[in-house]
């Protein structure tokens, strides 16, 4: 199992490249639509997930909406998709939904602005001014979205393992470069990276289940998982018992043991969602 994430800003041939890399490696090709569909199991309406993933929220919503439940659900869904086979993800969220395990290869595609503008102009039948505005606005929107959800700047090249400039090399060369890098020993799964991924995936499922359970939405806990054993610590509102939290976790597939260190937070302290 290997996970490759490929991100490109507005315009470009990123999806075509991702599909060709997936085909060459015998992996599944995954985009944001697949990710949204996989996230529905956690009870978030599809329209809300689509809004978070694809649309730019108003400035007021950016400050008032709690994005944590959506981020947590998307992380858990991403792990489910990647659990049993290699995948190539193309989109602007996948590279931040999973940590940098050894068998994860994160790729950033870049190109000169003039090339990006020309691609958008052709694809959307826009004039040059409108195409440039489109590229700039999409980049700004995605920058704000990723900053709001993860606190990062996607333009920071140090966050990626490989940066490919499509203004200088062809798609065929880019495909060979990514495939060759994926075959390198540096990016092969090891027993340690496999266990680390499985621990992260299980902890993500626990966080998503608690964050999106209607009666447990105000539980604030840190979750740690290790080979099926889960430890939660934090606070619960006074109307929630530790046993309720433990029972919810124990119902999750893959759980072997649950231990909890939970303190009750009185409602007088103003706990909010």
- Say what the pLDDT of residue 267 is: 64
Ordered DSSP codes for the chain: --EEEEEE-SSSSHHHHHHHHHHHHTPEEEEHHHHHHHHGGGT--HHHHHHHHHS---HHHHHHS--HHHHHHHHHHHHHHHSSS-EEEESSSHHHHS---TTEEEEEEE--HHHHHHHHHHHHT--HHHHHHHHHHHHHHHHHHHHHHHS--TT-GGG-SEEEETTTS-HHHHHHHHHHHHHSGGGS--HHHHHHHHHHHHHHHHHHHHHH-GGGTT-EEEEEEETTEEEEEEEEETT--HHHHHHHHHTSTT--EEEEEEEEE-GGG----
Contact 7, 164 (CB under 8 A): no
pTM of the model: 0.85
pLDDT per residue of the chain (273 residues) written in tens, 0 to 9:
899 999 987 666 788 999 999 999 999 999 888 888 888 888 777 777 777 666 554 443 444 456 778 888 889 999 999 988 899 999 888 888 999 999 999 999 999 999 989 988 988 899 999 999 988 888 888 888 788 788 888 888 999 999 999 999 999 999 999 999 999 999 999 999 999 999 999 999 999 999 888 788 788 899 999 999 999 999 998 889 999 999 999 999 999 999 999 998 776 554 444
- Say what the pLDDT of residue 200 is: 96
- Say what the pLDDT of residue 189 is: 96
């Amino acid at each position: 199992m290997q996970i490759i994430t490929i991100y490109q800003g507005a315009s470009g041939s990123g999806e075509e490249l991702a599909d060709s890399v997936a085909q060459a490696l015998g992996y599944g090709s995954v985009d944001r639509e697949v990710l949204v569909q996989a996230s529905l199991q956690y009870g978030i309406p599809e329209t809300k997930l689509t809004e978070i993933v694809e649309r730019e929220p108003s400035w007021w919503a950016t400050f008032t909406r709690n994005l944590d439940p959506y981020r947590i659900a998307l992380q858990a869904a991403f792990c489910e998709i990647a659990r049993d086979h290699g995948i190539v993800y193309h989109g602007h969220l996948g590279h931040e939904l999973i940590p940098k395990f050894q068998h994860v290869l994160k790729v950033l595609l870049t190109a000169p602005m003039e090339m990006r503008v020309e691609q958008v102009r052709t694809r959307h039948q826009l004039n040059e001014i409108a195409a440039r505005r489109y590229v700039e606005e999409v980049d700004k929107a995605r920058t704000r979205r990723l900053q709001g959800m993860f606190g990062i700047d996607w333009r920071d090249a140090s966050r990626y393992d490989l940066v490919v400039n499509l203004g200088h090399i062809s798609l065929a060369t880019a495909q060979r470069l990514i495939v060759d890098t994926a075959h390198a020993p540096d990016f092969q799964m090891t027993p340690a990276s496999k266990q680390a991924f499985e621990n992260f995936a299980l902890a993500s499922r626990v966080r998503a289940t608690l964050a999106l359970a209607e009666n447990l939405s105000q539980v604030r806990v840190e979750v740690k998982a290790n080979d099926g054993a889960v430890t939660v610590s934090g606070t619960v509102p006074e109307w929630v018992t530790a046993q309720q939290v433990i029972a919810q976790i124990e119902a999750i597939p893959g759980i072997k043991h649950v231990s909890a260190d939970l303190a009750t937070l009185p409602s007088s302290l103003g706990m909010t969602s």
